[in-house]
Amino acid sequence: METVTITVNGREVSGKPGTTILELARESNINIPTLCYDPCLTSIGACRICIVEDERSGALSAACVTPIAAGMVINTDSPRVREHRGTIVKLMLSSHPNSCLVCDKGNRCELRRLASEMGIGEIGLYRIPQSASIREVNPFIERDLSKCIMCAKCIRADHELVVQGAIDYIHRGFAAKPATLGDAPLEASECTFCGTCVAICPTGALMEKHWPHRVTATKSVATVCPLCGCGCSVDLETRNGQIVRAKPGADNGVNHKTLCVKGSYGYDFVHSPDRLTGPLINTNGEFQPATWDEALGLVSSELQRIKLASGPDSLAFLGSSKCTNEENYLLQRFARCVMGTNNIDNGSRVYSAASILGLGAVVGFPGSTSLLDSLEKSEVILTIGANLPSSAPAVDYAVRRAVKYKGARLLLVDPQRTRLTQFADTWMRPKVGTDVALINGLANVIIGEGLLDEEFVARRTENFEAYRESIAEYTLKHVEQVTGVPREAVASAARLFASASLASIIYGNGIAQSAAGADGVMALANLAMLTGNIGSGSGILALHRDCNGQGACDMGALPDWLPGYVPVEDEKAIQRFAGCWGSDLPRGIGLSAVDMISGAREGKVKGMYIMGENPALGFPQPHMVEQALGSLEFLAVQDLFLTETARLAKVVLPASSFAEKEGTFTNFEGRVQRLRKVIAPQGNSLPDWEIILRLADAAGKAMPFSSIQQIMAEMEEMVPFYSGIGDQVSDMADVYRLEIEKNSLVTRRLYRGKFPSGFGCFAPVDYREATNGSKDGYTLTLLAGSVLYHSGTGSRTSRSPRLSRFLPEPYVEISEKDADLLKISEGDEIKVISPCGEMTASVRFTDRLPEGVVFIPNGFPAAPVNRLFEVTLDARSGAPALKTCAVKLERVKRYEPAPR
């Protein structure tokens, strides 16, 4: 490989052509100070702190933007360099307020640190007066541009990493400053408060607002954000056992030094006064504190009593898509070995069962077949059933970067306009619930026009003929009639998708939580195979709502699969697991999470153990779930808070949060990442894995583990595609990232060689008209979905004062035209009524929804939108449909503005 050799501070060093002096110096461990440089951003040489001298010519240049050239003789620290660098710092300080001692940036300020390192005290220059200009009322970010050094890091992070375009420079000369459009306050701008600019700002110009703890951190620990399925790396800074700040962590291939607003400001729940700090036993309707021995003894004896009296299948266990792989592995082992039942499921049943079934059936592995890195290299990206800016911000940023900087073309399928729409090459707005018809229509154009990847289809798939016949009826005319998407748009989207050498598909809950969720997933997998977009660096990305939905399933917290997706009816495999676990195993498929609730209502399930899930809020018809759980003979819940579900329990066990324990999460791509213990468990809480181990002990069936590493070692043995994790995780130095290119997990998931079962299998699926359309006066279609400022059911994010202050209450979005027809005004309090439930919320007008459609966000525990949904299960996956139903609106109270 061609290299260029230069001399730096008397040492000969070589680098690739195009490398800058700064990059080569850093590679060679030679320090050059910087303020405006960041390896994730385009270098612009704005601050000039990195000036160096070329001894041959005497030229001074900014090392961050000067490429190396053969023969250069660079001095990074000559008297001349030091003098000029010092002058630059003094000039910066001359226009900087003299408020270092009271500035909240404190010891984190890079300008202050640099001045101190250079021995600069008195600057000896006329000071340019600067007045502080803080005027934001948002709860997240405070801007004091009197401290801005014009390094443009915030602007570049906004444009290049997050691609939001909320800020840029305005004015010229001394008046120049980074600002929003029209210099509006942040809350009136496009800013989403992701906090990336705050984390990257070198001075006190951008600061976290409303700090829970205004102190300098003493420790920073790299871990993983638990608030959605993206799996962003995050550094949590602590002092005296308190998390004081969150910053984007090292680049793990997911978030590239960004976070979203939840990742930056959403961890207050860890220190919430609502946290459970000790076990509780409900005695005569009152929760009384108990010792761990008392609580676990009661749980053990009650579970054993019910097992003895009514049989093991009268018990049911619910694992968690928010708990670690190790914890889910232990819980399913406890359910199967200690209690003898396959009645084990996890919370991802309500949003990812369709993916597990659909992807498993077509491509042979129930998870994403691609990676975010690959997505960013795609020529075409099809996004369907996913409001990425709200539900998966890190993926949203990746799509925007791909479109804006790498020329990717976005095919966006979404009835509602989102922040991503402006990036779309083609925006298709199908009628709600008609996605399968649209996907089949795309495939029919591709086959009809001979645009399919014939070699891939012939060599690597089966059942193509049946598939081809099944979609023949999805003509453009038919698809247009069903979906409302113009036929020209469908045809051109199909051609574009098929023409790309690398095309990716991303889907989310809009597909997976619909009444025909598994059909939608299979239709998408068919489309990917039809165009050869599996195993070639492109593929399908199945989003998960929670941080470990994929991992909980991988670990066998499922009624029909043992760990590693081994069928519970595979006798040979059962023997292997029984040998490892030293116990006979139950036979037959157990109850899914939804069936457990029905079983409780019918009296067949008599005892339940729920780890880290809140079905009394997150499942459809919460009041019926409450009744069902309330009718159990015994319920034990381990959780962070006394949730709606925990309140129904006989025994409540306090669990530690993500920041208080070790383990691994598997994100939506299948990337296994290490969770680190950042602070000690709050009160007497324990990590979920320790609780299960103690429970097994109490039940007289101790499991042979005393550390996370030991559990991992067994997981590796029993789940072959997790092999290698233990080695990686035992490396305590870095956030663990699975070496995906080298690992068998990837060869299996990414289908470089062949499909796990030999061939991909086309699965014919037909569009079925939804039955929950308009009827009996329910003339509007409700869309429920995520909102950026809350996650899941909101149990954690509603306990962040900053997030709650910004978005305290649910709302109903409706088009002005629909509102006019109903004589409803913005701000009115209205009742949203479905055939099986109602809720109240205030009205917001929007132009992003089609007529006849209203939107209500999830994530508000006080007003769960789930109460509007009847229990309709996807016939294939058994997952409840929680996306759409028919509703009507009634005004409760007219909005009256407060008197001025």
Under rule CB under 6 A, residue 400 binds ligand SF4: no
Cβ proximity to ligand SF4, 259 vs 693, nearer residue: 259
Q: How far is the CB of 372 from ligand SF4 (least distance, A)?
A: 11
Cβ proximity to ligand SF4, 386 vs 503, nearer residue: 386
Q: Among 232, 290, 437, 839, which residue sits at the site for ligand SF4 (rule: CB under 6 A)?
A: 232
Q: How far is the CB of 724 from ligand SF4 (least distance, A)?
A: 23
Under rule CB under 6 A, residue 749 binds ligand SF4: no
Under rule CB under 6 A, residue 673 binds ligand SF4: no
Under rule CB under 6 A, residue 618 binds ligand SF4: no
**Start-end of H helices in 95-195:** 110-117, 153-156
Interacting span for ligand SF4 (CB under 6 A) from 226-234, 715-723, 753-761, 839-847:
226-234
**CA 347 to CA 780: how far, in whole Å?**
29
Among candidates 327, 471, 432, which has minimal Cα distance to 764? 471
Q: How far is the CB of 803 from ligand SF4 (least distance, A)?
A: 11
Listed as own residue / partner, the contacts of 29-36 with beta carbons closer than 8 Å and 24 or more positions apart are 30/76, 31/76, 32/63, 32/76, 33/85, 33/114, 33/117, 34/64, 35/110, 35/111, 35/114, 35/149, 35/151, 35/202, 36/64, 36/149, 36/151, 36/152, 36/153, 36/202
Interacting span for ligand SF4 (CB under 6 A) from 225-233, 346-354, 421-429, 824-832:
225-233
Among candidates 771, 871, 763, which has minimal Cα distance to 350? 871
Sign of CA dihedral 199, 204, 209, 214: positive
Q: Among 162, 228, 354, 833, which residue sits at the site for ligand SF4 (rule: CB under 6 A)?
A: 228
**Which of the 8 DSSP states describes residue 758?**
B
Under rule CB under 6 A, residue 735 binds ligand SF4: no
Give 163-181 as a 3 state SS string. CCCCEEEECCHHHCEEEEH
Under rule CB under 6 A, residue 64 binds ligand SF4: no
- What would the x/- binding string for ligand SF4 be over residues 509 to 548, using CB under 6 A? ----------------------------------------
Restricting to residues 98-157, name those near ligand SF4 by CB under 6 A.
none
Q: How far is the CB of 105 from ligand SF4 (least distance, A)?
A: 22
Cβ proximity to ligand SF4, 159 vs 796, nearer residue: 796
CA 876-877-880 angle, to 5 degrees, is 115
Q: How far is the CB of 551 from ligand SF4 (least distance, A)?
A: 14
Under rule CB under 6 A, residue 222 binds ligand SF4: no
Among candidates 723, 645, 691, 705, which has minimal Cα distance to 323? 691
**Which of the 8 DSSP states describes residue 805?**
H
Q: How far is the CB of 194 from ligand SF4 (least distance, A)?
A: 8
State which amino acid sits at residue 484.
G
8 A C-beta contact, residue 227 and residue 796:
yes
Q: How far is the CB of 512 from ligand SF4 (least distance, A)?
A: 17
**CA 887 to CA 775: how far, in whole Å?**
9
Under rule CB under 6 A, residue 227 binds ligand SF4: yes
> Strand, helix or coil at 227?
coil
Under rule CB under 6 A, residue 199 binds ligand SF4: no
Under rule CB under 6 A, residue 394 binds ligand SF4: yes
Q: How far is the CB of 392 from ligand SF4 (least distance, A)?
A: 6
Cβ proximity to ligand SF4, 208 vs 560, nearer residue: 208
State which amino acid sits at residue 595.
D
The partner residues of 889 in beta bridges, in order of sequence, read 832
Binding residues for ligand SF4, rule CB under 6 A, total 13
Q: Among 46, 68, 225, 244, which residue sits at the site for ligand SF4 (rule: CB under 6 A)?
A: 225
**CA 809 to CA 872: how far, in whole Å?**
27
Under rule CB under 6 A, residue 675 binds ligand SF4: no
Cβ proximity to ligand SF4, 186 vs 230, nearer residue: 230
Residue number with the shortest CB distance to ligand SF4?
Answer: 263
- What would the x/- binding string for ligand SF4 be over residues 245 to 284, using CB under 6 A? ----------x---xx-xx---------------------
Q: Is 677 exposed, middle or buried (0-12, 13-18, 19+ CB in 10 A)?
A: middle
Cβ proximity to ligand SF4, 429 vs 796, nearer residue: 796
**CA 486 to CA 476: how far, in whole Å?**
8
Under rule CB under 6 A, residue 230 binds ligand SF4: yes
Cβ proximity to ligand SF4, 362 vs 398, nearer residue: 398
Among candidates 270, 275, 277, 279, which has minimal Cα distance to 695? 279
Q: How far is the CB of 658 from ligand SF4 (least distance, A)?
A: 11
State which amino acid sits at residue 359.
L
Q: Which two tokens stand for residue 38?
A: 């960041």
Residues that bind ligand SF4 (CB under 6 A): 225, 227-228, 230-232, 255, 259-260, 262-263, 393-394
